[in-house]
Structure 1
Amino acid sequence: MRNYMKILALMLLVSFNLIGQSQFTAEEILQKVDENMSSNSTITESKMVIHGRRNTREVVSKGYAEGNEKAFTEYLAPDREKGTKMLKLEDKLWIYNPSTDRTIQLSGHMLRQSVMGSDLSYEDLMEDRKLTEIYDAQITGEEVMDNRKCWVLELNATVEDASYQKRKTWVDQERFVPLKEELYAKSGQLLKQITMKNIEKIDGRWYPKNVNYKDVLKEGEGTDFIVLDIQFNPEIPEYIFNKASLKR
């Protein structure tokens, strides 16, 4: 009987350990996140709700993206921003301002500036590479967030030009979509927090339609990026990604 109890206890211990282990590796989890969050091309209608210290304002835009090297955005509202356009080609970014009829190019440290007073930088908007292309991952634990079991992953950059050298991300174990992220500088300082909500299944993938970006170095409630409509893998005319489109 004593030997039987020892064997039973050992079996329970092994079972407990197996339950606590993920059936996926960190790389496999990150790959599945990329499958949800990335696509060959997108057309997105969105609204930024910028929560300032004194007031809240909304900016509506329509954006086109193809891979990681081409992106074009036109701002539709409010009137003061209407007609402003941005074009990204590889690592270059141009902004057209209709009030001055001028096009300027941003580069270097200027890309870290805030986009229209929001908690997003131009660098944030330009970074659209798959996570598996720029980070190594490891599973550091499990937590429950919004009543959903999540893996906690630590991501460390494998390329020098990553916008954030380290990320901590909470990935929904069922839907393989991040519910929360923390973005860190190379020094280890926390720079931004991201919270994903309103997760919907669109074209066979889980995707967050409301993302809150919070620059922890600023006051306020952050900036909500709300997806009004999104198309995955549409055909986009080549003329969209041309500097002539900025003034068209």
Structure 2
Amino acid sequence: MKKILYLFLLPAFLNAQNTPDGADILRKVDKNMISKTSISTSQMVVHGRRGSRTITSKSYQKGEVNSFSEYLSPAREKGTKMLKLDDRLWIYSPSTDRTIQLSGHMLRQSVMGSDLSYEDMMEDRKLEEVYNAKVVGEDTIGGRKTWVLELSAKVDDATYEKRKEWIDKERYIPLKEELFAKSGELLKRVLLSDVEKIDGRWYPKKMNYKDMLKDGEGTDFIVDEITFDTDIPDYIFNKASLKQ
């Protein structure tokens, strides 16, 4: 009887031995996705009921707290700038020549009609610092084997209380994310693709954000070019740069 019980429990025991720790997985994901600095040019393709529109921008990021973006096209958006310093966000509009600071519930607003909120754009912290992680299974996404993780916030100011992540077992990048409210309601789904090795790290160059409370095909965020750990002048991350 003991032998039969041993043979029955052995597969589960071996599987548990081969399952990595959730925190270790997040640490490896952060190593790919977070850098000291980055400079990128990108497209945000907003799919709406009457068609799609594309907004291009150039962005600078330093650490987990500072970022600066300038919109390059279309003409209506050109010259709009966003500056994030720690947890503060300013937006400059060339049409009014005014700078406003967004805070509180205003950060939940859509960015230029897209499926991304300003909170989404500001979320640069390491997953390991914000969430506890538990491996709950395995799955296959686009032919890639993944670990399935459930994340629960361990800080009070997390943008999403809970997340579900499908992490590529070999490259340690997310291929799919589901983002939940405190109530358990699914708010957003993110699909990540076009993975390339850039400057020694794996990075998804296309992300489709879908607001699950809205109709439509979501918003594609496409990175055209990105460099990591490049020197960026300090003046970029200054309020004066918004009007330059």
What TM bracket, shorter-length normalisation? Answer: over 0.9
Partner residue of 2:10?
Answer: 14
1:176 partnered with 2:168? no
Helix, strand or coil for the counterpart of 1:29? helix
Partner residue of 1:156?
Answer: 152
State the Cα distance separating 1:22 from its structure 2 match: 3.3
State the Cα distance separating 1:149 from its structure 2 match: 1.1
Partner residue of 1:136?
Answer: 132
Q: What do the CA deviations read for 1:31-58 (whole angstroms, capped 9, x no partner)?
A: 1011111111111110001001111000
TM alignment of 1:204-215, pairs within 5 A: 204-215=200-211
Partner residue of 1:30?
Answer: 26
Tell me the distance in 2 between the aligned counterparts of 1:113 and 1:15.
48
Q: What do the CA deviations read for 1:176-207 (whole angstroms, capped 9, x no partner)?
A: 11100000011111100000011111111111
State the Cα distance separating 1:14 from its structure 2 match: 2.5
Taking structure 1 as reference, are residues 21 and 220 closer, same or farther at Cα in structure 2, changes over 3 Å only?
Answer: farther
Taking structure 1 as reference, are residues 144 and 102 closer, same or farther at Cα in structure 2, changes over 3 Å only?
Answer: same
Tell me the distance in 1 between the aligned counterparts of 2:158 and 2:13.
36
1:218 partnered with 2:187? no
Deviates more, 1:16-25 or 1:70-79: 16-25
Tell me the distance in 2 between the aligned counterparts of 1:10 and 1:157.
37
Tell me the distance in 1 between the aligned counterparts of 2:7 and 2:226.
49
1:70 partnered with 2:70? no
Flag structure 2 segments of 5+ consecutive residues without an equivalent: none
TM alignment of 1:1-248, pairs within 5 A: 14=10, 17-19=13-15, 21-248=17-244
Helix, strand or coil for the counterpart of 1:160? coil
Q: How many residues align structurally? A: 243
Instruction: Give 4+ residue runs of structure 1 displaced > 6 Å after superposition.
Output: 6-9
Q: Which amino acid aligns with 2:228?
A: F
Q: Which amino acid aligns with 1:210?
A: K
The CA RMSD measured in Å over matched residues stands at 1.7
Tell me the distance in 2 between the aligned counterparts of 1:219 and 1:23.
37
Q: Which amino acid aligns with 1:116?
A: M
Q: What do the CA deviations read for 1:116-140 (whole angstroms, capped 9, x no partner)?
A: 0000000111110000000000001
Deviates more, 1:194-203 or 1:20-29: 20-29
Give percent identity, aligned residues only.
63
Helix, strand or coil for the counterpart of 1:246? helix
Q: Which amino acid aligns with 1:65?
A: Q
Partner residue of 1:3?
Answer: none
If you compute each CA radius of gyration, which structure gives the higher value, 1 or 2? 1
